[in-house]
């Protein structure tokens, strides 16, 4: 167990009045123990109590050879896993449950214990994980360093007119050659009007045309930590409108970044970028939140959105990714990751945001 | 909506006394609507009632252009999604919930409605999905046809002594060249003692040595349907013990297959293979269930195990995969998929199970 992280979790449990909690998310378990266990459909639970006890319920198919600092209770496929867990639960107290614990386990636990006082304790793990420690910030910096190199490679390849799918394959090779494990999300390389769909799925058919915008939204996982970056370039030429929109979006990105420092609300950061885009007349074409928190997962709790009134704090890492999407025409998005510092933020992505026309 | 499948779901809801159910699993939603929607962390719910109504709650980020035969209620990121869903729930009745619905939604629904009468209705969807219809059997046959070709390629490559990781990369290319989308699970190509760990993860370092067993456990998704096949071969030579164990495992596979027909219990099929391995003195080295159901997912409900006393029925598809694992030495597993027919079964994998020593 990572003592410092466990200490912060226990403190947060006490602060929120949750005496026991079922941690089931492999990401949270990795965060605390340093070990990835992917149990598939089988039950995996780290039961934490405010007395500091940590019991790991894990199927024998995933043998634990190292000392994780947990007491391990081994399950097998012939057991009712929740039945093994239930006696360790204090039935007279609130039970905290990880946000993604599947209903089949939760309903079974209700049936076995009669307890219905459950709380979603992901606010606890999410809150602790939201503030990255030094080790994590170093790993996030490294993941984004690799991503900066990768986006340069992608932009360099634009004139090759590869299919979006082929670009994705080269991207994965590029990441792996630098020691990254995998994509942090399915990469988007969207040509022309495809870039006007913010959730466009890369396909195998689209071909690049002169005057197209190219939205490249990519990220990798390196040493388990995610990067996420978007650059938009133009192929051969850019129309006046494309240039205008590009500059608006890039400046909105900068205005968002400028706003970041401890104590500022997420919604104020969103507003800094959104108000600017609105003032330029493109507000209705910026159709999503400004950003999202990121770390061990590409999307973590802590939206940079108009409805999130929480304040940002030192160590938080999130994206600043304004976009303008003109349906059927083109799209522009410019995204960086930032880590909140004592009095502002550090932009993890160093790759240029100057208007770029690729020949 | 696939009318025949929906009809079977509604019938099953009536049979089990569940008047309303929250279907959230993208696989179940694809099964009924023919549309894949991957909502990530956002809520996606198909609310079914026994009056035949089908309401789809879906975030606007995943626009539905086609007519799915559902009434669509569009959500956005600024809404409390469960708050939108709650008024459509009948609070005086049992609420069925998909087995994997995340606790954050379920706990929120409990908070909003005060209802605590939830049932895991995956027995309904699982039961219906367990019996494949003709369209599905055709697709499963095709996926396994592709897998047979792929395992041949893998065996042919054994003498190249590629790392297990490299083998995986070639395998993915092989699948894609035949139109498959992706792996149905992370492939296992385990050399020597690695093959004695039934859940060995393919790594980038292991090297093949003369006399090694090679366990190749692979599968793809083609047109969304999974294949899953294991063959074990030997490199250059096989010891007498390796040959003996191979024949025991292969014969156990055949004995399992022979047992399959409608009305037989899953546990009896497991026993047919297990008892044989035990009679040969290797029972303690066969450390897992005989098989698992498969279809849109690699592992579906319906274990072929000693504790599953349900009877098999026409149209069910599952694996028969006995194995013997001698720790630190070698492992053998032989796996086929079978579909239960009117009076027996059809083996979907046609690839030879003769003892194979690769030169």
- How many C-beta atoms surround the C-beta of residue B338 within 10 A? 23
Residue B87 C-alpha from the chain's centroid: 35
pLDDT of residue B123: 87
**Domain B3-129 of CATH type 3.40.350.10:** yes
CA atoms within 13 A of residue B176's CA, in its CB half-sphere: 11
Q: A318: exposed, middle or buried (C-beta count within 10 Å: 0-12, 13-18, 19+)? A: buried
Cβ–Cβ of B106/A103 closer than 8 Å? yes
Q: What is the pLDDT of residues B309-318, one digit of tens each?
A: 999 999 999 9
For A272, list phi and psi in degrees, rounded to 5: -60, -40
- Give the rounded percent of residues in chain A with a pLDDT score beyond 90: 87
Cβ–Cβ of B199/A61 closer than 8 Å? yes
Q: CA-to-CA distance for B340 and B132, rounded, in angstroms?
A: 10
Is the pLDDT at A346 greater than 60, yes or no?
yes
Cβ–Cβ of A61/B198 closer than 8 Å? yes
Q: Is B307 on the interface with A (CB under 8 A)?
A: yes
Q: CA-to-CA distance for A257 and A266, rounded, in angstroms?
A: 11
Cβ–Cβ of B104/A118 closer than 8 Å? no
In what order do the strands lie in the sheet containing B317-320? B300-304, B291-293, B317-320, B336-340, B345-347
Cβ–Cβ of B110/A122 closer than 8 Å? no
Q: Is A84 on the interface with B (CB under 8 A)?
A: no
More confident residue, A65 or A202: A65
Question: Could you tell me if A164 and A190 are in contact, meaning their C-beta atoms sit under 8 angstroms apart?
Answer: yes
pLDDT of residue B205: 59
Q: Which CATH architecture has domain B131-358?
A: Alpha-Beta Complex (3.90)
Q: CA-to-CA distance for A178 and A187, rounded, in angstroms?
A: 17
Q: What is the pLDDT of residues B281-296, one digit of tens each?
A: 999 999 999 999 999 9
Pick from A45, A42, A1: nearest CA to A20: A45
Q: CA-to-CA distance for A14 and A18, rounded, in angstroms?
A: 6
Select from A41, A62, A299 the Cβ nearest to the Cβ of B40.
Answer: A299
Please, which contacts does A246-251 make with residues 24 or more away whose CB atoms are closer than 8 Å?
A: A246/A332, A246/A355, A247/A355, A248/A276, A248/A277, A248/A280, A248/A282, A248/A324, A249/A277, A249/A322, A249/A323, A249/A324, A249/A332, A249/A333, A249/A334, A250/A334, A250/A353, A250/A355, A251/A276
B3-129 shares its CATH topology with B131-358: no
Question: Which of B107, B181, B197, B270 should be substituted to probe chain A, the one whose Cβ sees the most A Cβ atoms within 10 Å?
Answer: B107
Radius of gyration over every alpha carbon of chain B, rounded to an integer in angstroms: 23
- Give the rounded percent of residues in chain A with a pLDDT score beyond 70: 97
Residues 325-344 of A with CB under 8 A from B: none
Is the pLDDT at A319 greater than 80, yes or no?
yes
**What tokens appear for A250 in the block?**
């890039």
Chain A nearest-CA residue for B78: A307
Q: CA-to-CA distance for A53 and A76, rounded, in angstroms?
A: 23
pLDDT of residue B14: 96
More confident residue, A163 or B332: B332
- What ipTM was reported for this prediction? 0.72
pLDDT of residue B41: 84
Q: Which residues contact B173 (CB under 8 A, 6 or more apart)?
A: none
Q: CA-to-CA distance for A201 and A199, rounded, in angstroms?
A: 6
pLDDT of residue A232: 97
Q: CA-to-CA distance for A181 and A166, rounded, in angstroms?
A: 19
Is the pLDDT at B164 greater than 90, yes or no?
no
The SS3 assignment for A314 reads coil
Pick from B224, B211, B198: nearest CA to B325: B198
pLDDT band at A40 (very low <50, low <70, confident <90, very high): confident
Contacts of A78 in chain B (CB under 8 A): 305-307
- How many C-beta atoms surround the C-beta of residue B97 within 10 A? 26
Contacts of B116 in chain A (CB under 8 A): 110, 116
Q: What is the pTM of this model?
A: 0.78
Segments making up each domain of chain A, as ranges: 3-129, 131-358
Q: What is the pLDDT of residues B105-145, one digit of tens each?
A: 999 999 999 888 899 998 899 999 999 999 999 999 999 99
Question: Which of A35, A79, A82, A102 should be substituted to probe chain B, the one whose Cβ sees the most B Cβ atoms within 10 Å?
Answer: A102
Q: Which residues contact A304 (CB under 8 A, 6 or more apart)?
A: A256, A266, A269, A270, A289, A290, A291, A292, A293, A318, A319, A320
Is the pLDDT at B204 greater than 60, yes or no?
no
Q: Report helix angle A266-279 to A240-259, nearest 10.
A: 150
pLDDT band at B200 (very low <50, low <70, confident <90, very high): low
pLDDT of residue B115: 86
Q: CA-to-CA distance for B311 and B266, rounded, in angstroms?
A: 6
- Please state whether beta strands A54-59 and A71-75 pair in parallel, antiparallel, or not at all (unpaired): parallel
**Strands, E assignment, chain A:** 20-23, 45-49, 54-59, 71-75, 95-97, 118-120, 182-183, 188-191, 213-218, 220-222, 225-226, 229-235, 291-293, 300-304, 317-320, 323-326, 330-333, 336-340, 345-347, 357-358
Average pLDDT over residues B72-90: 94
Cβ–Cβ of A103/B104 closer than 8 Å? no
Radius of gyration over every alpha carbon of chain A, rounded to an integer in angstroms: 23
Q: What is the pLDDT of residues B209-245, one digit of tens each?
A: 999 999 999 999 999 999 999 999 999 999 999 999 9
Q: Is A162 on the interface with B (CB under 8 A)?
A: no
Pick from B159, B335, B143: nearest CA to B254: B335
Question: Which of B21, B28, B44, B103 should be substituted to probe chain A, the one whose Cβ sees the most A Cβ atoms within 10 Å?
Answer: B103
In what order do the strands lie in the sheet containing B20-23? B71-75, B54-59, B45-49, B20-23, B95-97, B118-120
Select from B62, B101, B107 the Cβ nearest to the Cβ of A120.
Answer: B107
Q: CA-to-CA distance for B139 and B154, rounded, in angstroms?
A: 23
Q: What region, left, alpha or beta, does residue A40 occupy, with left being phi > 0 and alpha being psi -120 to 50 degrees? A: left
Tally the residues of chain B: 359
- The DSSP result for B37-83, as a single string, is ---TTS--EEEEETTS-EEEEEETTS---S--SSEEEEE-TTS-HHH
- How many C-beta atoms surround the C-beta of residue B176 within 10 A? 15
Q: CA-to-CA distance for A74 and A58, rounded, in angstroms?
A: 5
Q: Is A204 on the interface with B (CB under 8 A)?
A: no
Q: Which residue, chain included where needed, has tokens 């003369």?
A: B210
Q: Is B305 on the interface with A (CB under 8 A)?
A: yes
Is the pLDDT at A321 greater than 90, yes or no?
yes
Q: CA-to-CA distance for B167 and A222, rounded, in angstroms?
A: 22
Q: Is A106 on the interface with B (CB under 8 A)?
A: yes
pLDDT band at B196 (very low <50, low <70, confident <90, very high): confident
Mean pLDDT rounded to a whole number for chain A:
94
Average pLDDT over residues B316-322: 98
Select from B98, B116, B299 the Cβ nearest to the Cβ of A116.
Answer: B116
Q: CA-to-CA distance for B56 and B52, rounded, in angstroms?
A: 13
Q: CA-to-CA distance for B115 and B108, rounded, in angstroms?
A: 11
pLDDT of residue B116: 82
pLDDT of residue B326: 94
pLDDT band at A120 (very low <50, low <70, confident <90, very high): very high
* Helix, strand, coil distribution of chain A in percent, nearest 5: 35, 25, 40
More confident residue, A310 or A328: A310
Pick from A232, A243, A239: nearest CA to A194: A232
Q: Is B306 on the interface with A (CB under 8 A)?
A: yes
Question: Could you tell me if B247 and B234 are in contact, meaning their C-beta atoms sit under 8 angstroms apart?
Answer: no
Q: CA-to-CA distance for B328 and B195, rounded, in angstroms?
A: 9
pLDDT of residue A160: 92
Residues paired with A182 in a beta bridge:
A221
Is the pLDDT at A204 greater than 60, yes or no?
no
Q: CA-to-CA distance for A189 and A235, rounded, in angstroms?
A: 13
Q: CA-to-CA distance for A182 and A202, rounded, in angstroms?
A: 17
Contacts of B103 in chain A (CB under 8 A): 97-103, 106, 118, 120
Q: CA-to-CA distance for A289 and A299, rounded, in angstroms?
A: 12
- H-run or E-run covering A259: helix A240-259
Burial B226-265 (b: 16+ CB within 10 A, else e): bbbbbbbbbbeebeeebebbbebbbbbbbbbbebbebebe
């Amino acid at each position: 167990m990572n003592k410092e992280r466990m200490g912060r979790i226990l403190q947060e449990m006490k602060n929120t009045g949750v005496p026991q909690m079922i941690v089931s998310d492999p990401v949270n378990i990795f965060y605390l123990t340093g070990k990835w266990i992917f149990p598939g459909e089988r039950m995996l639970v780290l039961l934490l109590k405010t007395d500091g006890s940590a019991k790991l319920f894990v199927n024998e198919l995933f043998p634990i050879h190292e000392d994780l600092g947990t007491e391990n209770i081994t399950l097998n496929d012939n057991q009712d896993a929740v039945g093994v867990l239930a006696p360790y639960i204090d039935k007279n107290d609130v039970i905290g449950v990880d946000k993604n614990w599947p209903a089949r386990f939760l309903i079974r636990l209700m049936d076995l214990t009669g307890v219905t006082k459950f709380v979603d304790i992901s606010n606890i793990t999410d809150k602790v994980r939201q503030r990255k420690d030094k080790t994590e910030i170093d790993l996030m910096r490294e993941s984004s360093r690799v991503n900066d190199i990768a986006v340069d490679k992608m932009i360099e390849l634009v004139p090759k007119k590869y299919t979006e799918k082929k670009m994705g394959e080269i991207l994965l090779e590029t990441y792996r050659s630098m020691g990254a494990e995998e994509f942090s999300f399915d990469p988007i390389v969207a040509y022309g009007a495809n870039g006007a769909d913010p959730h466009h799925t890369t396909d195998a058919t689209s071909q690049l045309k002169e005057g197209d915008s190219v939205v490249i939204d990519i990220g990798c996982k390196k040493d388990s930590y995610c990067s996420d970056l978007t650059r938009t370039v133009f192929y051969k030429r850019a129309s006046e409108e494309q240039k205008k929109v590009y500059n608006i979006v890039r400046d909105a990105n900068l205005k968002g970044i400028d706003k970041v420092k401890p104590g500022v609300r997420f919604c104020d950061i969103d507003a800094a970028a959104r108000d600017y885009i609105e003032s330029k007349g493109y507000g209705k074409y910026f159709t999503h939140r400004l950003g999202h928190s990121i770390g061990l997962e590409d999307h973590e709790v802590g939206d940079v959105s108009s409805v999130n009134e929480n304040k940002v704090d030192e160590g938080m890492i999130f994206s600043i990714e304004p976009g303008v999407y003109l349906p059927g025409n083109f799209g522009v998005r410019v995204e960086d990751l930032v880590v909140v510092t004592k009095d502002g933020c550090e932009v993890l992505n160093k790759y240029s945001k100057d208007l770029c026309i690729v020949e």
